[in-house]
Amino acid sequence: MFTRNGALVIISKIKDTLLYFRSLKFYLFLLVVIVGIVPCLFLQFGILGNFEERSVSVLAMDVRTQTEIVANRISNSDYLDNPSSEVISAQLSQLSNIYGGRILVVNSRFEIVQDTYAMSIGKMMVSEEVIRGFHGEEDTHLDSKNGYLEITVPIRNEDASKVVGVMVISASTATISDSLDLLKQKTFVLQIVIVILIIVLALVLSIALVRPLEILTKKLRERFDGYGEEQIHVNTYRETREISEEINAMIDRMQVLDDSRQEFVSNVSHELKTPITSMKVLADSLLMMDNVPIEMYQEFMEDITEEIDRESKIIDDLLSMVKLDKTGAVLNIAQININELLELLMKRLGPIAQKRGIELVLVCERQVIADADEVKLTLALSNFIENAIKYNRDNGWVHVKLDADHKQFTVIVEDCGIGIPREDQAYIFERFYRVDKSHSREIGGTGLGLSIARSTVLLHKGAVEVESEPDVGTKFTIRIPLTYIPN
Ligand SMILES: Nc1ncnc2c1ncn2[C@@H]1O[C@H](COP(=O)(O)OP(=O)(O)OP(=O)(O)O)[C@@H](O)[C@H]1O
Ligand SMILES: [Mg+2]
């Protein structure tokens, strides 16, 4: 029984087969076959057809020349009225023998005065060709079905002023057909040989040309399946070499990404674990002691609370970083008054600076209104200023300067703090990177601040620059376009 499922299976099989044929190999094969076979067809129809045409026209010309000679003879005699001339009759039958056909001689009364087949002598012949012959027209007609060439030649009187009779010759084209058949047989054999050669050539070529691509696919599969660490090199064609290079570059990029992801995960775990370890140590030591005085409890609990704050800051930073990565392209752009934003920040950070006697100064060269995401930009700028306070010396200063030209605004955050060694400057924007681990730990922080800040500035299509000298100070220059043009 032919079930619906059976039909579906067959259809999917056909689809698979069709899909198999939609391959470069198959198309190449087809192309070579077509390109090879077209000349064969040309040989068949073009050359053979031409040969037949030419042979017929040569025969027609030959017959006509010979006939015209006899026609001259006839016009010089009274053969049309009295067809008794043995010489002319003999010539006519000779011609008829040579061309394997029949010759009729018709006089001006449309009577057949001579027929080399001797069947129609004395009969009337009023055909279209004969009438045209009496009008002086020569006529050639090929009856390819019966294998005859019919030619009408007018017979003119001596001074060629009048048509006095018409000769109708039918010449056999059997010899032409015979040679054509022979030629056809030979070309057929030749064509078969050529077609076989073309198919073999097409197969070999299509396999050989596509082979490097197959090698490339195989190497890629091996690479991604986990065997083979080495780079992919298929240099057979320029194209495969370029593809290999691109793939290698892509794999390298993926590797770097994978490495940095792994490094990030291990950094995150480490950072998250540190406060927990401290809390555990603090709690354990409390538990192990007998008769712990209440003051000690309080002190340890304060330390534990600090660690909890630290942990929660790391988590907050991580969350805002992930958010930046995920919704990076979706900035909540609005026209922001940057002066007001900075003033607010200074007010907010003032108390922290005051604690260490650090002078916090904001200088605004002009009013700046710019397209920005207020929340993200506040977070970023606040980190630069907070860093300038955190990594400063007691009683130092932090100068924040806002300026703008017609295209972009610039915020410069400068401090007279501990500075950043030259070799560390390239890394400070990396996640979790902190210059002096032990010192930084005292100061507090996660090492994510600058990474988040720079991502934000880049999202605003801006740039960050750092200049710093240890024990002299640090200067961060942040440039952001006044108008935001989305991608
Ligand atoms: N103004 C500065 N002066 C000196 N060192 C700085 C300054 N700004 C940043 N750094 C160095 O760069 C490191 C990275 O700064 P980043 O803001 O990313 O992290 P953090 O301040 O340590 O922590 P948080 O995530 O809390 O901001 C800092 O740990 C510090 O070593
Ligand atoms: Mg910071």
Give the atom of ligand 1 at the shortest distance from the alpha carbon of 418.
Answer: 4
SS3 376: helix
- Gap from CA of 135 to ligand 1 centroid (Å): 115
Last residue of a domain, one of 282, 304, 326: 326
- Ligand 1 pocket, residues with Cβ under 6 angstroms: 317, 383, 387-388, 391, 415, 417-420, 428, 433-435, 440, 445-451, 474
Angle between helices 174-225 and 238-288 (to 10 degrees): 20
CA distance 439 to 421: 14
Q: What pLDDT is recorded for position 469?
A: 96
Same domain, 319 and 348: no
Which pLDDT belongs to residue 324?
Answer: 77
Residues 316 and 356 in one domain: no
Q: Given this model, what pLDDT does residue 327 score? A: 60
What are 37's two structure tokens? 């076979």
Number of domains present in the structure of the chain: 3
Reading the block at residue 177, the tokens are: 């057909």
Domain that holds residue 322: 233-326
Domain finish residue from 278, 305, 326: 326
CA distance 29 to 203: 6
Q: Could you tell me the distance, in angstroms and rounded to a whole number, from the CA of residue 409 to the centre of ligand 1?
A: 23
337 and 464, same structural domain? Answer: yes
* 200 domain-assigned: no
pLDDT, position 442: 67
Helices (H), 226-293: 238-288
What is the pLDDT, as a whole number, of residue 228? 61
| pLDDT, block means (10 residues), the chain with 487 residues | 72 77 83 85 80 89 91 88 87 90 91 90 90 90 88 89 91 88 88 89 89 88 74 87 90 80 81 88 90 90 91 86 71 94 94 94 96 92 95 96 96 96 90 75 77 92 96 97 90
In this structure, the answer to whether residues 337 and 464 fall within a common structural domain is yes
Q: Is residue 221, in this structure, part of any structural domain at all?
A: no
Would 366 be classed as within a structural domain? yes
Our mutation pick for probing the ligand 1 site, out of 391, 422, 439, counting the most ligand atoms within 8 A of Cβ, is 391
Residue 381 within a domain: yes
Q: What per-residue confidence (pLDDT) applies to 329? A: 57
- By the CB criterion, residues less than 5 angstroms from ion ligand 2 are 383, 387, 449
Task: Give me the count of residues in the chain.
Answer: 487
256 and 128 housed in the same domain? no
Asked if residue 317 and residue 269 are part of one domain, the reply reads yes
User: CA nearest 360: which of 411, 412, 396?
Assistant: 396
Indicate whether 373 and 397 sit together in one domain: yes
Q: Does some domain include residue 64?
A: no
Determine the Cα–Cα distance for residues 388 and 54; give it in Å rounded to an integer.
101
**φ, ψ at 172 (rounded to 5°):** -75, 140
Whether the Cβ atoms of residue 484 and residue 456 lie closer than 8 Å to each other = no
Q: What pLDDT, on the 0 to 100 scale, is given for residue 370? A: 96
> Is 202 a domain residue?
no
pTM reported for the whole predicted model: 0.53
Q: What is the structure's pLDDT at 154?
A: 93
pLDDT of residue 258: 81
The domain boundary residue, chosen from 326, 356, 382: 326
Cβ 373 vs Cβ 366: under 8 Å? no
